[in-house]
Chains A and B, each alone.
Chain A
Amino acid sequence: MSTIITQDDIKHLEKISMIRLSDEERNTFTPQLTSILEYVEKLGEVDTKDVPETTQVTGIVNVLREDEVKPTFTQEQALANAPEQERGYFKIRGSLKNIAADA
Chain B
Amino acid sequence: MSNAMNGKSLKMAEGHEKYDLIIGLEIHVEPKTNSKMFCSCSADFWEKEPNTQTCPVCLGLPGALPLVNKKAVELMIKTGLALHSEIRRKTKFDRKHYFYPDLPKGYQLSQYDEPICEGGYISVSGVDGSEKQIAITRIHMEEDVAKALHAKDATGEYTLIDYNKSGVPLFELVTEPVINSSDEAWEFAKKYQQILRYLGVSDADIEKGQMRCEPNISIQKKGTWKYENGEIIPTTDAPLLERVEVKNIGSIRFMKNAIDYEFNRLVELAEAGEEIRQQTRGWNPAKGKTEFQRYKETAQDYRYFPDPDIPPLEISEEMIDSIKKEVPELPDEKIWRYEKDFGISAYDAGILVEDKAKAEYVEQIFAAANNTTEIITDAVKFLNGIGASWSNNAGKSIVESSLQPKALIEVITLLHSGDITRNAASQLVEKLLNEGGNVSELVEKLGLKVLNDTGALEKFVDEAIAENPNAVADYKSGKMNAIGFLMGQVMRKSGGSAKPGDVQTLLKDKLSQL
Contact = CB atoms under 8 A, between A and B. Distances in A.
A103 B294 contact: no
Given A60-B311, A69-B42, A102-B98, A94 B159 contact: yes
B50 A61 contact: no
Lowest 7 CB-CB distances: which A-B pairs, in order? A67-B71, A89-B160, A70-B40, A64-B70, A95-B157, A65-B67, A88-B50
B313 A61 contact: yes
A20 to B, nearest CB: 13
A64 B73 contact: yes
B220 to A, nearest CB: 25
Nearest to B57: A72
B161 interface: yes
A89 B149 contact: yes
Given A72-B53, A78-B54, A90-B160, 5 more contacts: A61-B314, A67-B34, A90-B161, A93-B159, A103-B108
Interface in A9-59: 16, 18, 55-56, 58
A15 to B, nearest CB: 10
Nearest to B299: A102
B100 A99 contact: yes
Interface residues of A, number: 39
A73 B51 CA distance: 8
25 contacts: A16-B301, A55-B305, A56-B311, A61-B314, A63-B68, A63-B311, A65-B68, A66-B71, A69-B41, A72-B52, A72-B53, A75-B49, A75-B52, A78-B52, A78-B59, A88-B49, A89-B149, A89-B160, A89-B162, A92-B160, A93-B156, A93-B159, A96-B101, A99-B100, A103-B98
Nearest to B150: A96
A8 interface: no
A72 B145 contact: no
A34 to B, nearest CB: 20
Given A61-B313, A62-B314, A103 B100 contact: yes
Contacts of B310: 63
A65 to B, nearest CB: 4
Contacts of B148: 96
Contacts of A96: 101, 148, 150, 157, 159
A79 interface: yes
A75 B98 CA distance: 27
A37 B496 CA distance: 94
A66 B70 contact: yes
| Residue from A58, A62, A86 whose CB has the most chain B CB atoms within 10 Å | A62
A99 B162 CA distance: 19
A56 B94 CA distance: 13
Interface residues of B, number: 57
Given A64-B73, A99-B100, A89 B145 contact: no
Interface of A: 16, 18, 55-56, 58, 60-70, 72-75, 78-79, 86-96, 98-103
A55 B309 CA distance: 10
Interface string B48-72: 0111111100010000000111111
Contacts of B100: 99-101, 103
B25 to A, nearest CB: 16
Interface in B292-316: 293-294, 300-301, 303, 305-306, 308, 310-314
B33 interface: yes
Contacts of B106: 18
A18 B99 contact: yes
Contacts of A73: 51, 54-55, 59
Contacts of B306: 55-56
Contacts of A88: 49-52, 162
A67 B35 contact: yes
B55 A75 contact: no
A69 B225 CA distance: 51
A48 B257 CA distance: 52
A58 B311 contact: yes
Contacts of B49: 75, 88
B3 to A, nearest CB: 40
A102 B104 CA distance: 15
A94 B160 CA distance: 11
B335 interface: no
Contacts of A66: 70-71
Given A64-B73, A69-B41, A101 B158 contact: no
A72 B150 contact: no
Contacts of B305: 55
B103 interface: yes
A56 B145 contact: no
B102 A55 contact: no
A16 B35 CA distance: 32
A79 B52 CA distance: 10
Contacts of B366: none
Contacts of B313: 61-62, 64
A72 B55 contact: yes
B155 interface: yes
Contacts of B159: 91-94, 96
Contact of B69 (A65, A79, A102): A65
A56 B312 CA distance: 9
B163 interface: yes
B413 interface: no
B54 A72 contact: yes
Nearest to B144: A103
A64 to B, nearest CB: 4
B203 to A, nearest CB: 16
